[in-house]
Amino acid sequence: MLVWGGDEFAILIEAVSTSEDATTIIQRIQDSLALPYDLQGREIVSGASIGVVMSIAAYQQMDDILRDADTAMYCAKASGGNQFKVFDVSIKE
């Protein structure tokens, strides 16, 4: 079973058929997270490294989908953070 830290979450988006659609949605999420907010008088700005799995048809278990999205997310973090990576088998290697 995959165990996540307190700062990780998953978003399932159905009916996304192209990588351009996914990119548009991911950019909207990152733009929203980047908006500054006030926390006890201090301006806070956050961001997100996002891992994406585009097609789940080949998967048998939900944990495998989450594992591969997590792998892509850590690849995005390793590439400088605050960006996204789409999972492919080359990331696993």
Burial class (CB in 10 A: 0-12, 13-18, 19+), 67: middle
- pLDDT at position 27 is 94
Query: Which of 81, 85, 87, 41 lies closest to 64 in space, CA to CA?
Result: 87
- pLDDT at position 6 is 54
- pLDDT at position 13 is 85
- pLDDT at position 37 is 86
Q: Tokens standing for 23? A: 């990119």
| Tens-place pLDDT, residues 38-84 | 989 988 888 889 999 988 888 999 999 999 999 999 999 999 988 99
Q: What domains are defined for the chain?
A: 19-92 (3.30.70.270)
